[in-house]
Amino acid sequence: MLSFHSSNIISKTKTISRRMFLLSTIKAVVLVGIFGRLAALQINDSTKYRSLSDKNRFRETKIAPPRGIIEDYFGNEIASNNKIYQLHIVPDNTPDVDALFVRLKTIINLSNKKLFLLKKQISRKKSWDTTVISDNLTWSEFSRINLFLHELQGAQPIVSVARYYHDNTSAHAIGYVSEISPRDLRTKKYLQNLNIEGVAIGKTGLESTLDEEMLGSPGYLRYEVNAYGKKVKQVATEAGLKGKTFRTTLDRSVQKVSAEALQNVSGAVCVMDIYNGDIISMVSSPNFNPNSFVHGVDKKEWKTLTENINKPMLNKAVSGLYPPGSTIKILTALSALENDIINPKVLIQCKGYIDLHGERFHCWKKKGHGVLNMKGAIKRSCDVYFYEVARRLGIDRLAETAKKFGLGQKVLTNYKEEKSGTVPNTKWKLSQIGKNWYIGETLHSGIGQGYFLSTPIQLCLMTAQIANGGFKIKPRMLDDNNNKVNNLQEYLDYKKENPNDTGGEKARLDFNLEPLFRNQENINFVKDAMFAASNEPGGTSYVSRHNDKKFKFAGKTGSSQIKRFTSEQREAETKQNEITYLERDHAWFVAFAPVEDPKYAISVLVEHGGSGSSAAAPVAKKIIKKVIERHETRTTQANQQIGQDT
Amino acid sequence: MIYTRSSIYSPFSIRDKFFHLDYTLLFSILLLGIISIFAQFSSSGGEFDYFSKSHALRFCVFFIFFLAISFVNIRIWNDYSLLIFIFLIFLLIIVKFFGVQSQGSRRWINLFIFNLQPSELMKIGIILFLSNYYHKISSSDVNKFRYLIYPVIALLAPFMLVLTQPDLGTAILILVSGIVITWLGGVRWKIFAYLSGLLIILAPVGISFLKPYQKNRILTFLDPDADPLGAGYQIIQSKIAIGSGGLFGKGFLNGSQAYLNFLPEKHTDFIFTLYSEEFGFLGSAFMVFLYFLITSRIILIGNITRSIFAKLYCYGFATAFFIYVAVNMSMVLGLLPIVGAPLPILSYGGSSMLAMMFGLGIVMSCNVYKNNALG
């Protein structure tokens, strides 16, 4: 029994031990497997999993950077950033969103429609996401919210920054900012990183062209989230980089005067420094309030703006196209003199009309101007004289001069909305209209009608380039660190010491200037004629002259016809204010001042103003006074800047 | 003190019993327990909350319980194994009718102080019973049909009872540890081969009985990336946590995956993931080594005990213990489907800890009474 028992135990033990050995082997294999897997995950692939873990952990929100400021020449802010008061809510933090809204309605202005939209917006988002209830609260609303904050669980009053425009006068020159549209996101690559709630982008004007540089780079708010996406703690904040600040060449006080001068009319004003091309003023009327767009313009306001026949949204200074009218006579005369077509002493009789090639061409003065020389014709703006000049000159030579002085091309680089206008010639007509040029069209072109189209800024440039003695300048809107634009001032100083030097060659070679003339005497002749037009009795703008020597200017009026007069109207001597507004002539006035030592050029356009002398010249008179009054301050500022730079 | 080999109830003094404890095993368990308290502390986000507190308390209580079991004569366990087994079957039946239901399964008995999970205890019960069974019967009878019926019933009864709770993980672990004992006990290869064949034939039928979520788990295991936010989420997040731990780990209480709730079940099944994320490969390797040391020590005890019961029990328990560890680790490492198997001692869970400490206590008792042949 005992032996059986022990043999039984021995055989059992044997089997058990043998099998256990086998199990231990399997166990060893499994252990190696687990070790291998651990090593693979934690050593080989640890970088991969570490980044996956961080992706789990961290979320980033971008913070809108403050937008760059736009200043005028004197450092006054035109477009700045203002503190704004907002209200955000996080549904997770409030026990009852609906009750919160009911309470909020008693505190701030919240329409039922807006409430409906907000609720829809909240239902689309995660419950821990922030929803903006109001992005621009008044101070009283904001303070009331803070007062009742203990009852408004989940509501967060936020102080943020948004664009603020100090006045409406520069609305067109500066442009406006507004919310990013889906189309902006598609077309503007630089926005990819900036699609943040609260970022507004430039839509027109400088705001649009300088958008990328003014936006700055966004800040980051890095926080840890748990598996449900809820914020656990803030890990890091990186403040955004403020956008670049730009100093324009504009003068806010002149802008104000320009806007006031155009207050009740539709039109535009450009004022330019004739030596360095600085745009002192650029105003379009009527204007709009750019602040309305910052938080999204409301439908009603947008509708009134777009339906206004005077097109408040259009920057007429650069995008308004008008026939230059009689202002072109300066160029017609200059072109004829430069091309030796006509002697300025040649006398032509004006009977009020001229019959050429079987067609009758009328002068604006029905009774005619009598016998005139060229200076007299410019002074009194005789059409008949210039019909004859144009006839002898031909359209192609006139077009060449017009283009040389800046017509038919964009003047500034800062406006996407700028138009280049039209300077017609025979080739242009053939390619654009597909017809041959008629001689009659030359005559119309000679007095700035017909196919000619120009913008106020172009005519301002034209005037400036005549006023400075006929040298090409590059107009600019931005003062890029007082970089020297040209040597025009140095050349003028040199000329004062060497009054006998008349050659444009010297200016071109030694001073690196680009003379636009063949003989500077011709430029001087035109300037002289413009002086006469403004300061001699019988001149078209004599009524609007300044008697103070300091403010005296020389200018040329113009009216561009919208609709030709019928013979009946002509017979009846219909006055402009007797016909319908939209059919009235556009009124032009271009001038430079002061006459003794010209410094600034101005162009004024008054849409449907009737005649240049009655509608445009008085506007220019007011602005010129202000511009010249500001001259000293401006020079001091410029010298200071140069002093700072060196 | 002098005692004879044949003495049945050796008159050991407490001092002698302490002398006969296996201190390598004891300290390994103690170390594991201390690590487990830290892991649970971290799992609670660095706080002594309900989970970490009760885990620490349980470990202390059950460690004393473990020592107490160690000092109980091995004969007692041999003699009462059948009774314990029947008692546990009885408890499983009670669970079936009066159990506490939670998350769609009925696994617990409400004992007012805590909820007892009899299926966890059954892991030990089946080993005890089968060790005793193969200890009793003659080696020549092992493969006789008559002697195969009891083990088959003893295997299938708890398996079916646990499976229908439903708790696939525990059911499989009970079945596997039972099968290991029958195999160690000497049942022929051929019989296992037949059974495996039968299982393969019946597998499709068995799969049709699986709950949809169980089928899903298997599918998810095969391709966890197919539905990363759904069923595959646990495996992916667990792998991210372990992998991101790297060589040295993120540091104690710095496991972001666990802390930020990306890890599911971090107190229980995924406690190793949390530990691994915080202590890295070195920490994990040490943990694997510690479990290896414990199982090796148990096998060593099995080698030196004289009785077949003790040998079978130690080997069986060592294997089962190893399987629990291997299954849990493979699961969190993405090598096996998520079946819901806790990691011994480290995982939160009273019944699991109770079962493990009870099992280890009997192993220790085997060591203290290693010379008792239970003739």
Shortest Cα–Cα distance, A10 to chain B (Å): 9
3-state helix, strand, coil in chain A (%, to 5): 45, 20, 35
Who's near B27: CB < 8 A, 6+ residues apart?
none
Q: Does A582 touch chain B (CB under 8 A)?
A: no
pLDDT digits 0-9 by tens, B42-73: 988 888 888 889 999 999 999 999 999 999 99
Residue A397 pLDDT: 94
Q: What is the largest CA-CA distance in chain A?
A: 160
Shortest Cα–Cα distance, B257 to chain A (Å): 7
Looking only at the bridges linking them, the beta strands covering A70-71 and A246-247 are parallel
User: Under CATH, to which class is A252-288+311-645 assigned?
Assistant: alpha beta
Q: Is residue B4 part of a domain?
A: no
CA nearest to A503, candidates A524, A487, A517: A517
Q: What is the mean pLDDT of residues A308-330?
A: 93
Inter-chain touch A49–B180, beta carbons under 8 Å:
no
Shortest Cα–Cα distance, B138 to chain A (Å): 6
Q: What is the DSSP letter of A68?
A: P
Q: Does A15 touch chain B (CB under 8 A)?
A: yes
* Least confident window among A44-53, A481-490, A542-551, A555-564: A481-490
With a cut of 70, say whether residue A526 has pLDDT above it. Answer: yes
**B315 is written with which tokens?**
């080997």
Q: Does B375 touch chain A (CB under 8 A)?
A: yes
Distance CA B358, CA B346 (A): 15
To the nearest whole percent, how much of chain A has pLDDT over 90? Answer: 45
User: Where residue B6 falls among pLDDT bands split at 50, 70, 90?
Assistant: very low
ipTM, interface predicted TM-score of the complex: 0.88
Q: Which residue of A has its CA nearest to B187?
A: A15
Residue A645 pLDDT: 52
Residue A635 pLDDT: 87
Residue, of B156 and A356, whose pLDDT is higher: B156
Chain A CB contacts of B261 under 8 Å are 226-228
Residue B330 pLDDT: 92
With a cut of 70, say whether residue A106 has pLDDT above it. Answer: yes
**A549 is written with which tokens?**
């020597």
Please tell me which of the candidates A43, A45, A227 has its beta carbon nearest to residue B262.
A227
Shortest Cα–Cα distance, B244 to chain A (Å): 4
Q: Which residue of B has its CA nearest to A19?
A: B184
Q: Is residue B248 part of a domain?
A: yes
Range of the domain at B132: 14-368
Distance CA B136, CA B79 (A): 11
Inter-chain touch A8–B139, beta carbons under 8 Å:
yes
Residue B267 pLDDT: 85
Cβ proximity of A579 and A430 under 8 Å: no
Q: What is the DSSP letter of A217?
A: B
Inter-chain touch A19–B261, beta carbons under 8 Å:
no
Shortest Cα–Cα distance, A24 to chain B (Å): 8
Chain A CB contacts of B138 under 8 Å are 8
Residue A358 pLDDT: 82
Q: What is the mean pLDDT of residues A154-158?
A: 79
Is it true that A60-247 and A252-288+311-645 share their CATH fold? no
Q: Does A42 touch chain B (CB under 8 A)?
A: yes
Q: CA-CA distances (angstroms) from residue B156 to B126, B153, B174?
A: 11, 5, 10
CB atoms within 10 A of CB A294: 21
Q: What is the mean pLDDT of residues A359-379?
A: 90
Inter-chain touch B244–A53, beta carbons under 8 Å:
yes
Chain A CB contacts of B330 under 8 Å are 33-34, 37
Residue B7 pLDDT: 46
Who's near B204: CB < 8 A, 6+ residues apart?
none
Residue A387 pLDDT: 92
* Least confident window among A152-166, A266-280, A288-302: A152-166
Please tell me which of the candidates A33, A41, A54 has its beta carbon nearest to residue B242.
A41
- Parse chain A into domains and list their residue ranges: 60-247, 252-288+311-645
* Least confident window among A46-55, B18-27, B199-208, B261-270: B199-208
- The pTM assigned to this predicted structure is 0.66
With a cut of 60, say whether residue A43 has pLDDT above it. Answer: yes
Residue B294 pLDDT: 95
Q: What is the mean pLDDT of residues A324-341?
A: 93
Residue A9 pLDDT: 79
Q: Which of A16, A22, A223, A232 is most worth mutating to test chain B (most B CB atoms within 10 A of its CB)?
A: A16
Is cis: bond before B264, omega within 30 of 0? Answer: no
Q: CA-CA distances (angstroms) from residue A75 to A42, A247, B55?
A: 60, 7, 71
CA-derived radius of gyration, chain A: 37
Q: Which residue of B has its CA nearest to A37?
A: B333
Chain B CB contacts of A1 under 8 Å are none
**A415 is written with which tokens?**
């406006």
Shortest Cα–Cα distance, B239 to chain A (Å): 7
Chain B CB contacts of A19 under 8 Å are 183-184, 186
Shortest Cα–Cα distance, A62 to chain B (Å): 22
Q: Does B257 touch chain A (CB under 8 A)?
A: yes
Task: Count each helix (H run) and each strand (E run) in chain B, helices first.
Answer: 14, 3
Q: What is the mean pLDDT of residues A624-641?
A: 88
CATH superfamily of the A60-247 domain: Penicillin-binding protein 2a (Domain 2) (3.90.1310.10)
To the nearest whole percent, how much of chain B has pLDDT over 90? Answer: 47
Please tell me which of the candidates B246, B303, B335 has its beta carbon nearest to residue A50.
B246
pLDDT digits 0-9 by tens, A162-214: 899 998 999 999 999 998 888 888 888 888 777 776 788 999 999 999 998 89
Inter-chain touch B375–A46, beta carbons under 8 Å:
no
pLDDT digits 0-9 by tens, A245-260: 999 999 999 999 999 9
Q: Is residue B319 part of a domain?
A: yes
Taking the alpha carbons at both ends of chain B, their separation in whole angstroms is 22
Domain count, chain B: 1
Q: Which of residues 338-367 of B touch A (CB under 8 A)?
A: none
Q: Does B336 touch chain A (CB under 8 A)?
A: no
Inter-chain touch A41–B134, beta carbons under 8 Å:
no
DSSP assignment of A155-177 equals EEEEEEEEEEES-STTHHHH--E
Inter-chain touch A16–B312, beta carbons under 8 Å:
yes
Shortest Cα–Cα distance, B280 to chain A (Å): 7
Q: Which residue of A has its CA nearest to B296?
A: A24
Please give the mean pLDDT across all residues of chain B.
Answer: 86
Residue B4 pLDDT: 46
Q: Does A22 touch chain B (CB under 8 A)?
A: no
Residue pairs spanning A and B at CB distance below 8 A: 131
Inter-chain touch A23–B302, beta carbons under 8 Å:
no
Inter-chain touch B186–A13, beta carbons under 8 Å:
no
With a cut of 70, say whether residue B5 has pLDDT above it. Answer: no
Inter-chain touch B315–A8, beta carbons under 8 Å:
no
User: Where residue A1 falls among pLDDT bands split at 50, 70, 90?
Assistant: very low
Distance CA A479, CA A206 (A): 13
Cβ proximity of B174 and B119 under 8 Å: yes
Q: Which of A42, A56, A235 is most worth mutating to test chain B (most B CB atoms within 10 A of its CB)?
A: A42
Inter-chain touch B256–A11, beta carbons under 8 Å:
no
Distance CA B369, CA B10 (A): 8
To the nearest whole percent, how much of chain A has pLDDT over 70? Answer: 96
Q: Does A25 touch chain B (CB under 8 A)?
A: no
Compute the C-alpha angle B195/B196/B199, nearest 5°. Answer: 90
Chain B CB contacts of A48 under 8 Å are 243
| A358: amino acid identity, one letter | G
Please tell me which of the candidates A13, A39, A52 has its beta carbon nearest to residue B240.
A52
With a cut of 70, say whether residue B3 has pLDDT above it. Answer: no
Distance CA A250, CA A628 (A): 14
Distance CA A24, CA B292 (A): 11
pLDDT digits 0-9 by tens, B340-354: 788 999 999 889 999
Who's near A577: CB < 8 A, 6+ residues apart?
A584, A610
Chain B CB contacts of A39 under 8 Å are 281
Most confident of A127-136, A284-293, A352-361: A284-293
Residue, of A96 and B206, whose pLDDT is higher: A96
Q: What is the mean pLDDT of residues B25-37?
A: 95
With a cut of 70, say whether residue A123 has pLDDT above it. Answer: yes
Q: Which residue of A has its CA nearest to B277?
A: A42
User: Where residue B302 falls among pLDDT bands split at 50, 70, 90?
Assistant: very high
Who's near A40: CB < 8 A, 6+ residues apart?
none
Shortest Cα–Cα distance, A130 to chain B (Å): 21
Q: Does B240 touch chain A (CB under 8 A)?
A: yes
Please tell me which of the candidates A31, A52, A53 has its beta carbon nearest to residue B292.
A31
Helix segments in A110-193, DSSP class H: 112-124, 139-147, 171-174, 182-187
Inter-chain touch B134–A225, beta carbons under 8 Å:
no
Please give the mean pLDDT across all residues of chain A.
Answer: 87
Distance CA A506, CA A491 (A): 9
